[in-house]
Amino acid sequence: MRKVYLFGMIIGLMLVGGSTLLTESVFAASPQQATNQSLTAGQAPDILIQPVQGPSVTKQLEGRAKSTWPWYITRAAGMVAAVSLVFLMLSGIGFITGATFRFLEPLTAWATHKAIAYVFGASLAVHGIALLFDKFVPFNVAQILLPFLSSYRKVTIAGHHVGSLYVALGVIAFYFVLAIIISSIVWIDKKPHTWKLFHFLAYLTMIFVFFHALYLGTDLSHGILRVIWIIFGITVAIAILYRLRRWGRA
């Protein structure tokens, strides 16, 4: 009985040793299987790391920031100018209709109107100057100061090419703003009637800026911001019509 038991143990050890040798030979023949074996045994496989040629991620981000900052400044300044113009128009019309004085006292309302005008003028200047440094939408001084010289996003209406119409609207609106500012400095006290006539250019300015931003503004091309801008335009249009109707009766 003991001999049979001893013989069985010897046979079992031989089988276990043979299976181990067989397994090692198989893994030695297959690198992938050898890797799996080492992972199963809790040993970390050898990892080969090769350096990537070229600038680092930090350098790439720095280079992109240097090349794109004018584009972001142009967009931000344009948005500030557009929104401030809306509130400038509404507060100015509110002086005539009396709606502004429902929310602010006369002196506070006038000071607020002037502050919004300063913000609008400054953001408008930054918007135009930043375009000179923009590498994505290149503009030169002549294209910024003279309408229809730019070739950016040319427009075709009823089969007729009208050039970069929406850029031209922005340029013309800029000169309207200059006329309003100069008349306010020179004639607001000396020739109030002439000053008021020049101030009516603000209505055309709003119309031109509305379409300029609607069709050229990157942030207003779609989505909720475009809807908000259209709502702003409709609100100012209603206020302008109400103001013109009141002026006609007078």
**Domain residue extents for the chain:** 2-40, 69-249
Q: Residue 197 and residue 103: Cα distance in Å, rounded?
A: 27
The better pLDDT of the pair 65, 150 is held by 150
Q: Is the pTM of this model over 0.85?
A: no
> What is the spatial distance between Cα 113 and Cα 111, in angstroms, rounded to a whole number?
5
What's the pLDDT score for residue 120?
Answer: 95
**Least confident among 37-46, 55-64, 205-214:** 37-46
The residue length of the chain stands at 250
Q: Is-contact 195 184, C-beta < 8 A?
A: yes
Which of 95-115 are b and which e, b meaning 16 or more Cβ less than 10 Å from the residue's Cβ? Answer: eeeeebeeeeeeeebeebbee
Question: Residue 207 — φ and ψ, nearest 5°?
Answer: -65, -45
Q: Which two tokens stand for residue 205?
A: 């300015």
- Work out the average pLDDT over 51-67: 56
Cβ neighbours of residue 61 closer than 8 Å, sequence gap 6 or more? none
pLDDT digits (tens, 9 = 90+) for 2-58: 444 434 444 444 444 444 433 443 334 444 444 444 444 445 455 555 555 666 555
